[in-house]
């Protein structure tokens, strides 16, 4: 019997604001996973602290709601221990680009076979609206009535500069596209990064469904768009109107971290299968 | 019969290869039936400075150093100046640099102490023997071997074995050893000056020689550790080296992480998923790991972290020993949660305790911090037998049918834990306060119940842990109390001074949760209790006071980056 979308439901009632993008993100993710026939017992999800992290008990999985900024290394540790599990690191723009930016850079560089799902609502929402690297300049934010004094970081440009295995952008108002992109990201063998432009009716009010409707376009609308080409990816990203979504870039030739390890080359088991007393007799000879 | 001891010190600069000849000497002495202990001092730089390698030699097991040496082999003028004052009466100095000019004061000291000062033209001897300049070290080693009146064949075979897979001219190495040994500079009276300890041969080439970090790596491998997450920090780094160099053979996944936060998060993720993974660091790196230790405590995820200590706050003395991080091991991490703190003392205990640490972490589902010191991590210990392999105990359930919940409240405080797999019930590990099924909660009643459940584990665990061990005299007048490498020095001192005094030593291996019964018995009988610690404030003493209100009246504290030397204890006993 196949996996049903309802297998992923949890008994807990969501605590997000009405209109929060997380409702749709969760619905699309559950749909994608069930369509891929991945059961909740075959899924590991790590969660950050923030509104995304408040979804940890809204989806059934082997989950771990950890610490702020740390969902990526936590997911990597879990993934390396048992690659039979589909692994998703769930994180916000604050946790990913402030508290834990080092983890993102090294995850892309190392190319673990995991999916990093970035909820970008252009703020630290759960702590009531502080600025992040994606908050528009001059927008008054918590503690910064005149807005951020610094420049922004462009998430897609930053990620592309690390030469990722997979980068896609989607929008929380487009359930169907989100679902398809989640499937492609999970299916990609390598470090797949999905940035979701997330509606936040409380702290990101400028980003409305109406604005999105006018300004967001699917990259597939570009004739012969080639996601294998980093140049094409850069070209579509230099322009913010329209904002392109879809699979922006994919490099299928990058080897994964695990596959590059000499010590694991001939292993047919996973690390979780190997916890037993290992004989050290040969190793001891050196110390005699 | 009290133990006999002589000490040989190589002094030089970092990058001169004195570690290599130190290790060769240790291996050769062991083969020759001596018991040895080796201790390194070196500066935090790659080349230059003053570095030393001291080998203490005895007729009995020893695990600490003397502050003094009988023979000093100085490879630089600076090291001669630094260590001359440590050369004992009737001792020997060997130097091989023509530019060493002794001051009048030094000459007077040498004369007064009847020290033989020998110039060995090792560089020329090496060249004449067909070697190259750098082999002058090996010439000095050969010369020393002659002074020690040991069989040349043993040293030759040890040297050849050491270099056999390295890109060196083996014949030239051998010729240099022989040339040093047979050098015309040698005089029989040199050998007569050194009162060598008796030899004793036992099986398997006279046991093992290894560092504490070697033993930790071996223990981790025995315990089924399958992932090692590294970030370099002295003195823990050589565990990474061993794991990395043997990864192909052991199949262990070795990953150098971008920082300690990552390393420990990866370890926690791997442990959650059901393998065994290890991280090791020193104080500064441990600070970065402390949020994760708190998270492991709250989410009840097994975690083992090795904290090998050096001296000082901030960067301190980065390559020197100390035991000043007990406080952070006991208190690191926000909030209240159960943890276990264990301290090793030597190679054997490191091998055993790392295995026990994983069992405790998994059975009780909490963070275990295993304390070491540079003195343990990097010194070379010599012992007869490896301790037995500990049985792996994980405390996991195999089936998750029915109403089983991950954070179920139980009498012992220990909830069912299972290894994530397709055929089992998925669950959320949660750093938020949570209900029995792992869902986030904020209500008072369940918050209290869950906090109590976690603390209950400590109550269960405390009953299982052993009391501290009392070494030395069965009915002592004086008892030293300590943890870590202090044990080695105190026991060596008791062995050296056995007949004169009734001295005991109470050793804490399991520090938190603290066992106090044996200590309280000693307090009740009015024994003279002396706290000995390699830190400034007596951190174990403070923890004991926090637990039972007892304050040590006498404290012997040392915090200069040096370990306790045997004389530190013997001098204390004399006064």
Q: Is B381's Cβ below 8 Å from some Cβ in A?
A: no
Between B474 and A114, the more confident residue is A114
Q: Inter-chain contact B432–A65, Cβ cutoff 8 Å? A: yes
DSSP string, B488-499: HHHHHHHHHTTT
Helix axes A71-81, A101-110, angle to 10 degrees: 30
Torsion of CA A207, A213, A218, A223, to 10 degrees: -130
B298: tokens are: 């709250």
Architecture per CATH, domain A5-287, reads as 3-Layer(aba) Sandwich (3.40)
B381 CB contacts (<8 Å, ≥6 apart)? B37, B63, B209, B210, B211, B212, B215, B346, B347, B348
Using an 8 Å CB-CB cutoff, list chain B residues near A257. 255
Cα(A29)–Cα(B135) distance, integer angstroms: 66
Name residue B470's beta-bridge partners.
B506
Torsion of CA A222, A227, A229, A231, to 10 degrees: 50
* pLDDT at residue number B102: 87
Three-class DSSP labels, B269-311 = HHHHHCCEEEEEECHHHHHHHHHHHHHHHHHCCCEEEEEEECE
Nearest Cα to Cα of residue A245 among A216, A212, A204, A211:
A216
Nearest by CB to A284, from B247, B261, B386: name it: B386
B538: tokens are: 């007596």
Using an 8 Å CB-CB cutoff, list chain B residues near A263. 247-248, 250-254
Res. A1: pLDDT tops 80: no
Which runs of consecutive H residues, i.e. helices, occur in B164-282? 170-181, 188-193, 203-206, 212-222, 237-245, 247-250, 260-273
Q: Inter-chain contact B274–A103, Cβ cutoff 8 Å? A: no
Cα(B364)–Cα(B410) distance, integer angstroms: 12
Using an 8 Å CB-CB cutoff, list chain B residues near A262. 247-248
* pLDDT at residue number B259: 98
> Taking the CB of residue B460, how many other CB atoms lie within 10 A of it?
16
> Taking the CB of residue B498, how many other CB atoms lie within 10 A of it?
15
Among chain B residues, CA nearest to A42? B422
Is residue A87 very low, low, confident or very high in pLDDT (cuts 50, 70, 90)?
Answer: very high
A11: tokens are: 């008994």
User: Alpha-carbon torsion B244, B246, B248, B252, what sign?
Assistant: negative
Cα(B9)–Cα(B91) distance, integer angstroms: 11
The answer to whether B79 and B54 have CB atoms below 8 angstroms apart is: no
Phi-psi region of B280 (alpha: psi -120 to 50; beta: other; left: phi over 0): beta
Q: Inter-chain contact B210–A287, Cβ cutoff 8 Å? A: yes
**C-alpha gyration radius of chain B:** 26
Domain positions in chain A are: 5-287
Using an 8 Å CB-CB cutoff, list chain A residues near B250. 263, 278, 283
Cα(B331)–Cα(B287) distance, integer angstroms: 11
Residue B389 backbone dihedrals phi, psi, to 5 degrees: -75, 135
Q: Inter-chain contact B266–A276, Cβ cutoff 8 Å? A: no
Helix/strand/coil for B430: strand
A162: tokens are: 């690390």
Cα(B321)–Cα(B310) distance, integer angstroms: 4
* pLDDT at residue number B203: 64
* pLDDT at residue number B15: 85
| Per-residue pLDDT reduced to its tens digit, B458-467 | 999 999 999 9
Nearest by CB to B269, from A56, A77, A283: name it: A77
Using an 8 Å CB-CB cutoff, list chain A residues near B288. none
Which runs of consecutive H residues, i.e. helices, occur in A99-144? 101-110
B355: tokens are: 């295995």
Q: Inter-chain contact A272–B227, Cβ cutoff 8 Å? A: no
Name residue B554's beta-bridge partners.
B530
Q: Is B275's Cβ below 8 Å from some Cβ in A?
A: yes
Nearest Cα to Cα of residue B148 among B104, B190, B209:
B190
Task: Scan for tokens 């006018």, then name that residue.
Answer: A214
Residue A79 CA from chain centroid, whole number: 14
The answer to whether B214 and B384 have CB atoms below 8 angstroms apart is: no
Give me the residues of A, 247-266, that contact B with CB < 8 A.
Answer: 257-258, 261-264
Helix axes B212-222, B237-245, angle to 10 degrees: 50
B506: tokens are: 């109470």
Helix/strand/coil for B264: helix
- pTM for this structure? 0.97
First to last CA, chain A: 58
Q: Inter-chain contact B426–A61, Cβ cutoff 8 Å? A: yes
Cα(B558)–Cα(A211) distance, integer angstroms: 68
pLDDT along chain B (575 residues), means of 10: 88 90 96 95 88 96 97 94 96 91 92 96 96 94 97 96 92 97 97 92 80 98 98 97 97 98 98 98 98 98 98 95 98 98 98 98 98 98 96 96 95 98 97 98 98 98 97 93 98 86 95 98 95 98 98 98 97 91
| Cβ-based contacts under 8 A for chains A and B | 201
CA distance B185 to chain A (A): 33
Average pLDDT, chain A: 96
Give me the residues of B, 293-352, that contact A with CB < 8 A.
Answer: 295, 299, 301
The answer to whether A63 and A46 have CB atoms below 8 angstroms apart is: yes
Cα(B385)–Cα(B206) distance, integer angstroms: 9
Q: Inter-chain contact A280–B222, Cβ cutoff 8 Å? A: yes
Q: Inter-chain contact A77–B221, Cβ cutoff 8 Å? A: no
Count of all residues that appear for chain A in the document: 288
**C-alpha gyration radius of chain A:** 20
B250 CB contacts (<8 Å, ≥6 apart)? A263, A278, A283, B221, B243
* Long-range contacts of the stretch B442-449 (C-beta < 8 A, 24+): B449/B409
B156: tokens are: 């030759």
CA distance B109 to chain A (A): 40
Nearest Cα to Cα of residue B545 among B516, B504, B574:
B516
Phi-psi region of B561 (alpha: psi -120 to 50; beta: other; left: phi over 0): left
Q: Is A64's Cβ below 8 Å from some Cβ in B?
A: yes
* pLDDT at residue number B162: 94
Q: Is B154's Cβ below 8 Å from some Cβ in A?
A: no
Cα(B19)–Cα(B333) distance, integer angstroms: 38
Cα(B118)–Cα(B92) distance, integer angstroms: 7
B164 CB contacts (<8 Å, ≥6 apart)? B170
Give me the residues of A, 76-105, that contact B with CB < 8 A.
Answer: 76-82, 84-85, 102-103, 105
Helix/strand/coil for A123: coil
Torsion of CA B210, B213, B217, B223, to 10 degrees: 100
Helix/strand/coil for A201: coil
Q: What is the DSSP letter of B415?
A: P
Nearest Cα to Cα of residue B289 among B272, B267, B271, B309:
B267
**A68 sits in which H/E element:** none
* pLDDT at residue number B124: 96
A197: tokens are: 């432009």
Q: Inter-chain contact A264–B266, Cβ cutoff 8 Å? A: no
Using an 8 Å CB-CB cutoff, list chain B residues near A75. 269
Using an 8 Å CB-CB cutoff, list chain B residues near A54. 440
Helix/strand/coil for A45: strand
Nearest Cα to Cα of residue B68 among B4, B9, B148:
B9
Cα(B262)–Cα(B532) distance, integer angstroms: 36
Q: Inter-chain contact A41–B295, Cβ cutoff 8 Å? A: no
The answer, yes or no, to whether ipTM is higher than 0.95 is yes
A239: tokens are: 């322009």
The answer to whether B322 and B385 have CB atoms below 8 angstroms apart is: no
* Optimal mutation site among A73, A108, A258, interface B, most CBs of chain B within 10 A: A73
Cα(B358)–Cα(A278) distance, integer angstroms: 14
Q: Inter-chain contact B253–A80, Cβ cutoff 8 Å? A: yes
């Amino acid at each position: 019997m196949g996996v049903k979308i309802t297998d992923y439901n949890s008994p807990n009632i969501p605590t997000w604001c009405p209109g929060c993008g997380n409702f749709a993100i969760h619905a699309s993710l559950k749909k994608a996973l069930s369509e891929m026939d991945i059961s909740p017992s075959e899924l590991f999800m790590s969660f950050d602290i923030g509104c995304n992290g408040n979804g940890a008990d809204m989806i059934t999985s082997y989950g771990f709601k950890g610490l702020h900024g740390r969902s990526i290394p936590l997911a990597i540790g879990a993934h390396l221990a048992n690659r039979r599990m589909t692994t998703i690191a769930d994180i916000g723009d604050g946790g990913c680009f402030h508290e834990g930016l080092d983890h993102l850079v090294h995850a892309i560089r190392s190319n673990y076979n995991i999916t990093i799902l970035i909820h970008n609502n252009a703020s630290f929402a759960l702590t009531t609206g502080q600025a992040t690297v994606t908050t528009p300049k001059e927008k008054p934010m918590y503690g910064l009535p005149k807005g951020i004094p610094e420049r922004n970081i462009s998430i897609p440009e930053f990620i592309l500069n690390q030469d990722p295995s997979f980068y896609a952008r989607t929008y929380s108002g487009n359930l169907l596209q989100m679902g398809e992109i989640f499937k492609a990201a999970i299916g990609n063998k390598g470090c797949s990064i999905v940035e979701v432009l997330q509606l936040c009716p409380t702290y990101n009010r400028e980003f409305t469904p109406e604005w999105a409707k006018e300004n967001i376009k699917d990259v597939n609308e570009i004739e012969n768009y080639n996601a294998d080409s980093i140049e094409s990816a850069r070209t579509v990203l230099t322009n913010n109107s329209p904002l392109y979504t879809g699979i922006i870039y994919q490099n299928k030739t990058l080897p994964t971290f695990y596959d590059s390890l000499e010590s694991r080359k001939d292993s047919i088991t996973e690390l979780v299968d190997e916890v037993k007393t290992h004989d050290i007799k040969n190793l001891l000879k050196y110390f005699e | 019969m009290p133990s006999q001891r002589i000490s040989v010190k190589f002094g030089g600069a970092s990058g001169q290869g004195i570690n290599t000849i130190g290790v060769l000497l240790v291996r050769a002495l062991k083969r020759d039936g001596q018991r040895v202990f080796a201790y390194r001092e070196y500066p935090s730089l790659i080349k230059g400075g003053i570095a030393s390698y001291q080998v203490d030699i005895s007729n009995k097991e020893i695990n600490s150093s003397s502050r003094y040496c009988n023979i000093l082999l100085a490879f630089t003028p600076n090291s001669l100046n630094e260590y001359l004052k440590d050369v004992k009466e009737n001792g020997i100095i060997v130097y091989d640099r023509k530019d060493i000019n002794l001051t009048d004061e030094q000459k007077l000291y040498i004369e007064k102490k009847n020290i033989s000062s020998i110039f060995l033209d090792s560089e020329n001897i090496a060249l004449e023997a067909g070697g190259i300049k750098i082999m002058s070290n090996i010439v000095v080693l050969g010369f020393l071997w002659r002074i020690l009146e040991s069989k040349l064949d043993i040293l030759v075979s040890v040297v050849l074995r050491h270099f056999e897979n390295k890109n060196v001219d083996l014949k030239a190495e051998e010729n240099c050893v022989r040339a040093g040994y047979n050098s015309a500079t040698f005089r029989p009276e040199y050998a007569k000056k050194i009162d060598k300890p008796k030899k004793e041969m036992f099986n398997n080439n006279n046991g093992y020689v290894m560092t504490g970090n070697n033993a930790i790596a071996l223990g981790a491998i025995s315990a089924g550790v399958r992932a090692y997450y590294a970030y370099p920090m002295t003195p823990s780094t050589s565990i990474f080296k061993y794991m990395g160099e043997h990864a192909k053979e052991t199949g262990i996944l070795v990953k150098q992480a971008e920082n300690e936060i990552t390393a420990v998060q990866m370890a926690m993720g791997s442990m959650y998923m059901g393998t065994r993974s290890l991280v090791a660091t020193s104080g500064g790196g441990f600070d970065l790991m402390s949020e994760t230790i708190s998270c492991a405590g709250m989410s009840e995820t097994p975690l083992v972290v090795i904290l090998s200590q050096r001296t000082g706050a901030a960067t301190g003395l980065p390559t020197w020993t100390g035991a000043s991080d007990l406080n952070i091991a006991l208190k690191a991490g926000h909030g209240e949660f159960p943890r276990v703190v264990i301290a090793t003392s030597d190679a054997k205990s490191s091998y055993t305790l790392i295995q026990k640490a994983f069992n405790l972490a998994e059975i009780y589902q909490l963070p275990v911090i295993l304390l070491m010191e540079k003195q343990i991590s990097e010194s070379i210990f010599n012992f007869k037998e490896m301790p037995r392999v500990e049985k792996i105990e994980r405390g996991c359930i195999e089936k998750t049918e029915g109403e089983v919940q991950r954070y179920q409240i139980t009498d012992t405080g220990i909830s069912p834990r299972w290894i994530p797999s397709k055929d089992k019930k998925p669950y959320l590990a949660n750093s938020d306060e949570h209900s029995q099924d792992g869902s986030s909660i904020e209500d008072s009643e369940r918050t209290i119940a869950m906090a109590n459940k976690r603390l209950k584990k400590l109550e269960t665990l405390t009953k299982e842990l052993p009391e501290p061990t009392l070494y030395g005299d069965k009915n002592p007048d004086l008892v030293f109390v300590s943890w870590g490498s202090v044990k080695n020095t105190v026991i060596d001192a008791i062995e050296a001074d056995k007949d004169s005094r009734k001295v005991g030593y109470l050793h804490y291996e399991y520090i938190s949760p603290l066992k106090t019964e044996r200590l309280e018995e000693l307090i009740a009988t009015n024994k003279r209790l002396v706290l000995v610690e390699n830190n400034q404030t007596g951190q174990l003493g403070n923890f004991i006071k926090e637990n039972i209100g007892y304050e040590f009246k006498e404290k012997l504290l040392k915090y200069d980056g040096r370990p306790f030397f045997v004389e530190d204890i013997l001098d204390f006993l004399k006064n």
